[in-house]
Each structure stands twice: as structure tokens, then as C-alpha cells.
Amino acid sequence: MIFVNAGKKDWAFAYAMVAPTVLGVLILNIYPLFKSCYLSFTESKGFGIYKWTGLDNYVRLMEDPEVWQAVVNTLAYTVLSVVIGVFLSLVVAVLLNEKIRGRGLYRTIYFLPVVSAPAAVAMVWRWLYNADAGLINYLLSMFGIGAIHWLTDPRMAMISIVIVGVWTMVGYNMVLLLAGLQEIPKTFYEAAEMDGAGPVQKFLHVTLPMISPTLFFVVVTSVIGGLQVFDFIFMMIEPSNTAMASTQSLVYLFYKQSFLMGDRSYGAAIVMLLLVITLIITAIQMKLQKRWVYYE
């Protein structure tokens, strides 16, 4: 090891090497975090002028039904997209870990949504979802199913957004899970076979415990991603859409208050609420992991 007898010079070198990342995090993550926290206690007067108003924004937040609806929407989106998305990712990863023909092609297809621009993805889905001329309703009509208002029916719009969200996240999670699957030594499966385990038992008693650390990571990041849902709502639901109230997430509401209405301070209070929710949920997951995550 080079750094066993490391002098000051070597440490300086080490710090220099990590500096870009540390600086990036400080400037782009840590500073804005504290700045947002400060802004949430002020009133924005525009052009960088802020007046301290104490808890006013939080009082307003508590009384704002739009905010609580957004909390419900955000949680609904997160639960639906994580449960469905992670389950599908695991299924796809396990299937594509087998030596089937065209495996590379399938992997590419599943990963494609990850490398596509979210805006372009949303535009294509918007066209697919079109109630009058969309491909999905056209296909459904061949089975005698009447037109579904995917993006304008308040009960349907959230599901439509979840579908797009799941579609884009499966590929990314699949890659992580595939890597985890390939770490599992073959000898474990051979031993299980000797004991007479079938495919289902092998999955439940070998694959699942062995992949649980990866799965935990996937769940935590997917939950955080779900809580931050914004782009699909922004691209697919316009302000005059009647389904907006039942789909707008906390981040969308933050965007609306901060950038459309110009109220940066109230927007900051909304993201602070999101931060608290994220911290609570992540803390719960950390606690629960002891029950199901298996570390060697």
C-alpha cells in the first residue's frame, strides 16, 4: 500500500483527488439544502430579496389542501411504482439471468427506456394515451373496450403515470439486480439441488436471501426516486388538465409555486416537507432491513 507511511504530501494529493466530487456535492447539494431551509422561513420579494417571516409558510402549508392532496398523490405514486416496478425488475432480472436465446437483445430492450430522454419518452406515451387517436385505445377497441381517458380521467391519470414510471425504471433496476444475481456462487444452487430443491424453492431460499442487499438498495433508491416524481407529470399533464389535482406531486407543486407563481419561499417550504417525509421513510426502511436483508 502506498499510503501506509503516508506523509502530509500524500494526504494533500488524496484530498486533491476527491476535491472535485466534494466541491460538487457542497455547491450543488449541501449549499442549496441549507439555502432552501432558510428560504422556507422567508417571504420572497423577487430578485433575490427575502424578508424573514418565521413560520408563516409552514402555517400556510398546514392549511393548504393542495399540499396534502400532493402528499397523498406522491405517496400513492411511490407505493404503486415501487411495488410493481421492483417486482417486475426482479422477475425480468431472474429470467434474463438464464441462458435463453436472444438474452442480449432482451436486456438491451429493457434498458432502452433508461437511456431515452424523459421528455421524449413522455411525448411518445402521451400520444399512445390519446383518448381519441391513441394506439392503446385503438387496440382496446378491437376487444370491444370503450375509450379510456388515460390522462384526463382523475381516477385513471395516476395509474397512467405509474405505468410510464415503471416502464422507465425496470431497466435500470434490472441491471443492478443482474449484477447481484451473478455474484451468487453456483455451488449454492448445486447444494440446494442435492437436497432436492425445485426451482421455486431455489429462488426463495437461495436467490432471494443472497440478492437481498442489492434488492434493499434498489428499493431505497426507487422510493426516493418515486418521492421525487416530476418530469412525467410536467410533460403529460397540463395546468388546464382536470386530472392535475389528483396527480400533482410535491415536486410538481414546488415547481408550480416557485417558478410559475414566483413564490420561491413557499416552494422551499414544500420541498422541506418532502425532505422530512423522505427522511422518515428512509429511516423506517433502515430499521426494517434487519428483518429481511441478509449480509454474508
Of 185 and 262, CB closest to another protein: 262
Of 241 and 285, CB closest to another protein: 241
Quote the CA–CA distance of 127 and 137 in Å, as a whole number: 11
Of 100, 240, 287, 296, the one binding another protein (CB under 8 A) is: 240
Question: In 3D, which of 231, 40, 275, 235 has the Cα closest to residue 126?
Answer: 235
Site string for another protein, 135-154 (x = CB under 8 A): --------------x-xxx-
Q: Does 52 bind another protein (CB under 8 A)?
A: no
Of 198 and 262, CB closest to another protein: 262
Q: Does 225 bind another protein (CB under 8 A)?
A: yes
Of 53, 69, 212, 241, the one binding another protein (CB under 8 A) is: 241
In whole angstroms, how close is the CB of 254 to another protein at the nearest point? Answer: 9
The residue range among 42-50, 74-82, 175-183, 196-204 that interacts with another protein, by the rule CB under 8 A, is 42-50
In whole angstroms, how close is the CB of 269 to another protein at the nearest point? Answer: 16
Of 94, 114, 175, 224, the one binding another protein (CB under 8 A) is: 224
Kindly identify the residues of this chain, within the stretch 87-126, that bind another protein according to CB under 8 A.
Answer: 118
Q: Does 228 bind another protein (CB under 8 A)?
A: yes
Of 65, 144, 196, 239, the one binding another protein (CB under 8 A) is: 239
Quote the CA–CA distance of 213 and 293 in Å, as a whole number: 6
Quote the CA–CA distance of 268 and 255 in Å, as a whole number: 10
Of 46 and 146, CB closest to another protein: 46
Of 7 and 46, CB closest to another protein: 46
Of 14 and 261, CB closest to another protein: 261
Of 161 and 210, CB closest to another protein: 161
**Contacting positions for another protein (CB under 8 A):** 28-29, 46-49, 118, 129-134, 149, 151-153, 224-225, 228, 230-231, 237-244, 251, 256, 259-263
